[in-house]
Amino acid sequence: MVGPRDEGSLTVLPPLDNIGSAPSPTPPAQIGFAAQSFAGRGRTPATVVSPSATGTLALTSTLREAQTRAIFTLLLQHRRLEPQDEDVLSLRQRINHVVKFARRPAHLTQLVQELLRPAGLYGANPEECLSPETQRQLFDGWLTDVLFNQTFEALLADQVADAGRRPSPHAILVWQLRHRLHQLLHQHDTQGGTLNYPTRKYLLEGVAGTLAPALVSWPRDRRWSALSVLNLRWGYAHAGLRLAAVAGVTQGEHVPLPALSVDEAIDLGFSLALALSTRALLPEYLELFQLPALLRYRYHSPEAAYPEEELRSRAL
């Protein structure tokens, strides 16, 4: 366990740019999809620096329609859907089939290729390799955008902003935000379709468990559930859990790490913050505090109408 006095040991961690990347001839990409070209091909690499910089494409209605058509065709080819399903299944019912299909790594790779191809991004062709982590981030980003028309972090921030708009603002508690997330996942779409249990489970454990681990961890701990998500202890725990996950990926294989207790996660996050404040770590690790900072910012500035990337920067 790394405690506050052990912050120097954190300096051995690699830059976030290298986390979860597979060997490839590509140069390091800038954050998200900001890189201007891919070496030798003039194509933008679909690389994500970390899960908190969710691999979301800037989905226009035209691009989303092209992706939806491509994925529907892919599932038809694999006989996971029938031609008549296009007119019968609602959005959430289709998502159930897509999430089930993406369980296999080979199928996930195919799905991501179909997501990237309409945008002309690197990774759309079989010879253009993306790491499993990047593929999962891209898929998760697309999934939340299609379901909620925004990133997962923005979805949570909107719930916190709603609490800040009330005549008597109150800090939203962990269990309240968790409950609100469950409500959103159980909603019906405009055609009456719902997400089935495996899809909801994936969104909670896979997406929320990666991007907001302190929200879904320790659900039976009443004291933790009664903590405000604006509390520094929640922010430290979030960063600590994210850092532990990053360490698991950089070990090479996906070796499961021992689950952290609340106090261990907080201590690890505090050590990370201390190391960053003394410049003992690369500033890229500040990104692990991005979600807690965004939630606090949106609570105190609920009407902020900046683009999401600018909101993230202002929050940090």
More confident residue, 145 or 126: 145
Kindly report which listed range (17-21, 87-91, 116-120, 173-177) carries the lowest average pLDDT score: 17-21
Domain boundaries, the chain: 4-15+150-315, 17-148
Mean pLDDT (the chain, rounded): 78
Pick the more confident residue, 253 or 75.
75
Burial 89-105 (b: 16+ CB within 10 A, else e): beebbbbbbbbbbbeee
Q: Is 135 exposed, middle or buried (0-12, 13-18, 19+ CB in 10 A)?
A: buried
CA distances, 270 to each of 6, 234, 237, 297 (Å): 10, 11, 8, 20
Q: Are 19 and 133 in contact (CB under 8 A)?
A: yes
Nearest Cα to 116, choosing from 77, 54, 59? 59
DSSP state of 45: B
Residues of the chain with pLDDT > 90, as a percent, come to 47
CA distance 242 to 142: 21
For 267-276, the pLDDT digits (tens) are: 999 999 999 9
* Gap between the Cα atoms of 196 and 69, Å rounded: 22
Rounding to the nearest 10 degrees, give the CA dihedral for residues 257, 262, 265, 271.
Answer: -150
pTM of the predicted protein model: 0.76
Beta-carbon neighbour count of residue 25 at 10 Å? 8
In 3-state terms, the chain is what percent helix, strand and coil (to 5)?
60, 0, 40
pLDDT single digits (tens) 137-183 = 999 999 999 999 999 999 999 999 988 887 666 778 999 999 999 99
Q: Name the pLDDT band for 18 (thresholds 50, 70, 90).
A: very low
Contacts of 9 (CB under 8 A, 6+ apart): 2
